[in-house]
Structures are given as C-alpha cells and as structure tokens.
Amino acid sequence: MKPARRTAAAAPAKSRKRAPVKAGSRPAPRRTYDMAPLCEAARGTVSPSIVALCR
C-alpha cells in the first residue's frame, strides 16, 4: 500500500474590496404632508405634550 499523498495548503481567503460609500445627506422629501387634520384629531385624545409637537 502506498502512503497517502500530501496536498498543498490552501492560500488564505482574500477580503473583497468594496466601493466607498458617498458621504452626504439624503435628499429632502419631495412632498410635504399637511398634518393639520391629524393634529386636530389628536386634540383631546392624546397627551397635550404630543399635541404640542404639531405645528
């Protein structure tokens, strides 16, 4: 019987290079939503401190 043949050691795995992420702010929302009806509905049903956040 022949002795088992040795194999070469595998090379260590290389890390993948990623493209750099662009630093910056996100674009502003295109539409503004009218929160007045929601704020009116909140009066008397939720805490006044929450209603105070409505503008």
pLDDT the model gives residue 55 = 66
For 1-54, write each residue's pLDDT tens digit.
677 777 778 888 888 888 877 777 777 777 777 888 888 888 888 888 888 888
Residue whose tokens read 């939503």: 33
Rounded-to-integer distance, Cα 55 and Cα 42, Å: 13
Q: Say whether 36 sits in a helix, a strand or coil.
A: helix
